Amino acid sequence: MGYMIRSVLLLGLLTGIFLFVGNLIAGKVGMTIALILAGIMNFLTYWFSDKIVLAMYGAREISYEEAPWLHAMVEELAKRANIPKPKIYLVPMEQPNAFATGRGPSNGVVAVTSGILRLLDRDELRGVLAHEIGHIKNRDVLVATMAATIAGAISYLVNMLQFALLFGHSRDEEGNQNPLSIVGSILLIIVTPIIATLIQMAISRSREYLADETGAKISGDPLALARALEKIHYYVYNIPAEVNQGTAHLFIENPLKGGGIWELFSTHPPTEKRIERLKELARRMGKLY
């Protein structure tokens, strides 16, 4: 529940920044235009998210006849999560990884790479699939779309300010003098998108922690997921993959290398912390002493 509350608070903070900066830069009309533009773009992405990302990675649906054991595993986990059984797709990628997509539980998809099927044992794979089903159950595609819409609207507002500065406009839609100085405007242009991105990434990391917790409870085996994350983390850093930056947040482990200060801009929490939290959850569940 803590991760859910954190996500709501971060979304509220992002919305507050949008309202404050938007009113300062463009007034109510400008805010409305920015929000509509961002909303249209992200609504289309949300509505076709499953088709877009699956086509992007050349994924194909795995039939029941091809892997009945895998379908049985997903069906059992979905039943435990109280959601419809998601479709299962195979991504032809050597890097061991997995992701979930779809607008919600009624049309969810779990996708696994060929690399992860070779790397993990069945208990570990079950833990990973439970994590992805956790994302579907928690409607994380919707949450990510909401965050992207608000952050996108902030980006449009900043572009409006850049345009206004470039052409020397300093009045709002009501004809009043814009209170922003040139220096203040430049600072807003630089700082606001960075803050919005940091919050958006923090929301993504919070949803990963929540999916870990939800998945561990669905599977009843936090340690299997912890072992899987440890294995995946090692191989992700040794088997590079061509991944679109805009879809990196979908994967169970960030498929792109990074570290240090860039963790603030990462869509995923540090794997070590995720494993520590899963072990703590296992202790609370009486699975580790």
Tens digit of pLDDT for each residue in 131-172? 999 999 999 988 888 888 888 888 888 887 777 776 655 555
CB 24 within 8 A of CB 181: no
Model confidence at 41: pLDDT above 70: yes
Model confidence at 191: pLDDT above 50: yes
To the nearest whole percent, how much of the chain has pLDDT over 90?
A: 46
pTM as predicted? 0.84
Tens digit of pLDDT for each residue in 197-222? 888 888 899 999 999 999 999 999 99
Smallest CA-to-CA distance from 78 within 105, 49, 113, 51 is with 105
Give the CA angle between residues 55, 59, 60 to the nearest 5°.
Answer: 115
| Residues annotated catalytic, as ranges | 132
**Mean pLDDT over all residues of the chain?**
86
Model confidence at 261: pLDDT above 90: no
Model confidence at 29: pLDDT above 50: yes
Residues 6+ apart with CB under 8 A from 142: 46, 103, 104
- Work out the pLDDT band at 257, boundaries 50, 70, 90: low
Task: For residues 87 and 187, give the distance between their C-alpha atoms in angstroms, rounded to a whole number.
Answer: 47
Q: What is the mean pLDDT of residues 215-242?
A: 94
**Sign of the Cα pseudo-torsion (53, 55, 57, 59, in order):** positive
Domain ranges of the chain: 1-289
Model confidence at 186: pLDDT above 70: yes
Mean pLDDT is lowest, of 75-84, 96-105, 179-188, 192-201, for: 179-188
Packing angle, helices 271-284 and 222-236, rounded to 10? 170
